[in-house]
Amino acid sequence: MKLMQLEERAKRAKAVREERDLLHEMFESDNTGITYNTEDIAGIFRIASSRKARDELNKIEKSEDVTFGRAANNQFALTPDEVHWLCGHFKIPPYSALGKRAFVMNNINLKGGVGKSTSGCMIADGLTKSVDHISKQMRILIIDLDPQGSATKHFLGDFRSAALFQSAITLMASESTDLDLINELSIVKDTSNKNVHIIPCTTDDGFLSEQLSEVAEEQGIEVHEMLYERVIKPVEYQYDVIILDAGPHMDNVLRASIGASDGLLTPIPPKEFDFDSTLKFFERFPDIFTSLIERGYDIERLQFSKVFMNLWKENARSSVSRLYNARAMNELTEIFGESDLISEHLPEEEAYQRCADNQHTIFSMAQSTYGKELGDLIPFNRAKAQATKWLNAVWRTISLAHQKFDSNGGK
């Protein structure tokens, strides 16, 4: 080879990448984000019909001297902010009025690529943007603990200044015991979703995990207490739900994430290999927890450890996939029973992937943008309908457990 060849190739790679960035920017400027039509408004505010919702909106525009967003065809198309304004108008209390500390949910599996990050981002967007939940005006914090940074990329874009970010892991590894460090370092970042904040994670953090034992010892706390004590506790009344997205490694970071969790949610794909690895993970649970308990961890803190089926192949054409599906389902019921198995699965849908490729989830993507630029609306709507059922099943689990927390502890 000649160096020149490599240089020429590098130039072409750069040109292609810049072209892609440009396309991506065009897409972003086109995507004005999700809006709500009169049918959605009727659903959100329990108004009997779309027509009544339209009449109501017209009335409010006159009486309150406001103008709601409209689509090109002049039909109502309200932004999330406008829906929140309406919540105030209709005096719907936000979920935060319950005054509970945040519920900490950990999307966990020692197998990578099973949908931990995808499902975490979907829960965050779904609970803040879907018709069934937007009126709760929930405040969600995602703590990205995986140096791969999938959740960070999803919510903050393909950031170039990643190295400048402080993460939850750097905070835990920091020698300072100043409890307000989380605010002083401003490690919590806003995202394009006003109701979702994130503590990002960057590639460099992978090396810090081992240091955590030393720092913990110096400070006289246990590794499994570090995430809760140093990162979560100072902000736990500022959020309703905190979602942890840890990487697939049994290391100190994962221990700290378990120590901080109120609930564990594990995605399981029916595909033989992923399924097998996940079951092995559950076989290790007694050991993992025994060693935590030996160091003072209180297992009563954990409200649930549930699983859901991800990447389920609907109408699987190949007989092998059908076999995986059926067997996996039977076996999951055998292991987890009805109570620890989330009743709805997430199917394998290209729409989820396409939304993810454009830094969206099915819950944040405007239907019109998807239809214009990304793909067919029939599979999009099918994917969204099933994601909604799944989200609601997940929410039932979280909210039931959250109900048991003391109220108004933050006051």
Ligand X SMILES: Nc1ncnc2c1ncn2[C@@H]1O[C@H](COP(=O)(O)OP(=O)(O)O)[C@@H](O)[C@H]1O
Tell me which residues touch Mg ion (CB under 5 A): 116-117, 150
Q: Closest Cα partner for 234 from 182, 278, 286?
A: 182
Phi-psi region of 47 (alpha: psi -120 to 50; beta: other; left: phi over 0): beta
Shortest spacing between CB 253 and Mg ion, in angstroms:
13
Nearer to Mg ion, 116 or 224 (CB): 116
d(CA 406, CA 408): 7
Among 116, 139, 230, 255, binds ligand X (CB under 6 A): 116
d(CA 177, CA 164): 21
**Partner interacting with residue 80 (select from ligand X, Mg ion, none; CB below 5-8 Å by kind):** none
Among 115, 149, 263, 270, binds ligand X (CB under 6 A): 115
Q: Could you say whether residue 118 binds ligand X (CB under 6 A)?
A: yes
Q: If DSSP codes are grouped into helix, strand and coil, which group holds residue 115? A: coil
Shortest spacing between CB 310 and Mg ion, in angstroms:
12
Q: Could you say whether residue 117 binds ligand X (CB under 6 A)?
A: yes
CB-neighbour burial class of residue 121 (10 A; exposed 0-12, middle 13-18, buried 19+): buried
Q: Closest Cα partner for 350 from 325, 383, 372, 322?
A: 383
Q: How many residues bind ligand X (CB under 6 A)?
A: 16
Nearer to ligand X, 38 or 117 (CB): 117
Nearer to Mg ion, 34 or 110 (CB): 110
By CB under 6 A, which span of 201-209, 212-220, 287-295, 341-349 interacts with ligand X?
341-349
By CB under 6 A, which span of 96-104, 249-257, 282-290, 351-359 interacts with ligand X?
351-359
Shortest spacing between CB 32 and ligand X, in angstroms:
23
Shortest spacing between CB 346 and ligand X, in angstroms:
4
**Partner interacting with residue 94 (select from Mg ion, ligand X, none; CB below 5-8 Å by kind):** none
Q: If DSSP codes are grouped into helix, strand and coil, which group holds residue 360? A: coil
Phi-psi region of 137 (alpha: psi -120 to 50; beta: other; left: phi over 0): left
Q: Could you say whether residue 143 binds ligand X (CB under 6 A)?
A: no
Nearer to Mg ion, 43 or 120 (CB): 120
Nearer to ligand X, 78 or 309 (CB): 309
Shortest spacing between CB 143 and Mg ion, in angstroms:
13
Rounded (10°) angle between helices 252-259 and 272-294: 70
Task: Please provide the DSSP assignment of 278-301 as one string.
Answer: HHHHHHHHHHHHHHHHHTT--GGG
Q: Could you say whether residue 203 binds ligand X (CB under 6 A)?
A: no
Nearer to ligand X, 169 or 311 (CB): 311
Structural contact between residues 215 and 175, judged by C-beta atoms closer than 8 angstroms = yes
Among 33, 94, 112, 410, binds ligand X (CB under 6 A): 112
Task: Give φ, ψ of 41 to 5 degrees.
Answer: -60, -40
Q: Which residue has the tokens 């994130």?
A: 198
d(CA 232, CA 262): 12
**Partner interacting with residue 349 (select from ligand X, Mg ion, none; CB below 5-8 Å by kind):** ligand X
Integer Rg of the chain from CA = 23
Nearer to ligand X, 127 or 356 (CB): 356
Q: Which residues bind ligand X (CB under 6 A)?
A: 112-118, 150, 310-311, 346, 348-349, 352-353, 356
